[in-house]
Amino acid sequence: MTTETAPRRRAWSGRRIALLGLRIALVAAVGAVAVWKLDLGELHDAFRVRSWGFLAAAVAANFVSVAFKGLAWKWVVDALPAVTRRVRYRDVIPPLFIGYLFNAVLAARVGEIVKVMLLRRRLQRQGQRPYTTTLLGSVVAENLVATIVWVGLVISIGLFLPLPPYAWIAAAVLGVGCLTIVVVALLSSPGRQIPPWLNTGPLWARAQRAVSRLWGAVRESHLGLRAPRQMTAVVGASLAGRLAQWAAIYLALLAFGLGRVGWGGAGLLLVTITLAQTFPVLPGNVLVYQAAAVVPLTASYGVGAAEAIAFSVVLQATEALVGVAIGFLFLVAEGVDFGQLRRQAEAEDARRMEDEPADTLAGP
């Protein structure tokens, strides 16, 4: 370890400790409020599923949603100039589910790096050697397209079913931001980088180089999507995945006897939950996820607080069950250790944060 790298690693460790303290404080604060404000007996009674059949259907719909997300990611990876032949769908699915497992258990999107590392290893066995940064750019590109599709779906829902103003505003702001990035990436020439005026000092220079590498990977991921057929395939898979997620929420509402909330309420939950998952603060985004489901149910549909909390916990469980259970099975089949994979992913993330040379991102 060089003298220059040691302070960076200490600073990185300090940030991680501070973030851990923030998470513990958040959990303690929410727990204290819950004990103070809620009738625990009422909350216990609220955990009653009216229909296990509808709940099983919600789990199946979440599985379909993840499967379509994997299909969309596969088509983005297929379009990469560094990938010389089409990726097999069965090579994408295990890394995707293992990534979901890590995101459910850990925070800070470690699963995104894990799934990129695992996919790269599979591609290496086939004689293809895309950089880890390149594949990470494909993840960002797929998420951008999926978000734009989500905004289109929200607008379509709002045309036929009532949505509160804040849902429109949040979807519009996020959609415009993602659409701007995608359009700029599609129109950028292959050699175009971040403007030089961003390089205004040591800290900005490091940030600029890190962002420039990731931006280059994101732009590269969009080059193949200039073909209408390829973009249509990604958009179609993303739309199918979002529709399956919407259906999963509605089926979970039926399972709890909350059919009165309807498809419009399920659409509103799709908006708030998606926004909450954009900012992973805690492992699995617990508490933030619950708040995103409880607030619209209680404020807009008159659902009791205890019933809304119980529903939010079970709804998240239907999503986590898919990622954790299936992800764990794929992890065992992959023959890799959870702890070792976590350390490798965190080391990869630290290298990106420290702005080490791009060739170190190639990985094993």
Q: Which residue has the higher pLDDT, 12 or 343?
A: 343
3-class SS of residue 64: helix
* DSSP symbol at 358: G
Q: Within a 13 Å sphere around the CA of 11, how many CA atoms are in the beta-carbon half? A: 9
Q: What is the mean pLDDT of residues 136-141?
A: 84
Residues 37-73 pLDDT 10s: 454 444 545 567 788 999 999 999 999 999 999 999 9
Q: What is the pLDDT of residue 194?
A: 46
Distance CA 136, CA 244 (A): 25
Q: How many beta carbons lie within 10 A of that of residue 240, not counting itself? A: 18
pLDDT band at 18 (very low <50, low <70, confident <90, very high): low
Total-model pTM: 0.76
Q: 242: closest CA among 282, 269, 223, 221?
A: 269
Domain boundaries, the chain: 38-362
Amino acid (1-letter code) at residue 260: R
* Rounded CA separation 364/349 (Å): 14
User: How far from chain centre, in Å, is Cα 153?
Assistant: 18
Q: How many CB atoms lie within 10 A of CB 226?
A: 12
Q: Which residue has the tokens 């030089």?
A: 196
Rounded average pLDDT over 302-306: 85
219 vs 131, more confident: 131
Taking the C-alpha atoms of 139, 144, 150 and 151 in order, what is their torsion angle to the nearest 10 degrees? 170
Distance CA 175, CA 190 (A): 25
- Mean pLDDT for all residues in the chain: 76
Distance from C-alpha of 214 to C-alpha of 137, rounded to nearest angstrom: 6
* pLDDT classification of 254: cutoffs 50, 70, 90: very high
Q: Report residue 357's pLDDT band, with 50, 70 and 90 as the boundaries.
A: very low
CB atoms near residue 200 (< 10 Å): 10
What residue has token string 């009165």? Answer: 260
> Residue 40 is encoded by which pair of tokens?
């625990």
Rounded to a whole number of angstroms, the distance between the first and last alpha carbons of the chain is 19
CA distances from 198 to 53, 215, 252, 333, 356 (A): 55, 14, 47, 45, 19
The residue with greater pLDDT, 35 or 189, is 189
Judge whether residue 250 has pLDDT over 90: yes
Among 129-133, 176-180, 283-287, top mean pLDDT goes to: 129-133
pLDDT band at 349 (very low <50, low <70, confident <90, very high): low
pLDDT-derived band at 199, boundaries 50, 70, 90: very low
Q: What is the model's pLDDT at position 126?
A: 86
Q: Are 199 and 208 in contact (CB under 8 A)?
A: yes
pLDDT at 364 over 50: no
Reply yes or no on whether the pLDDT at 111 is more than 70. Answer: yes
Ordered DSSP codes for 283-338? GGGTTHHHHHHHHHHHHHH---HHHHHHHHHHHHHHHHHIIIIIHHHHHHHHT--H
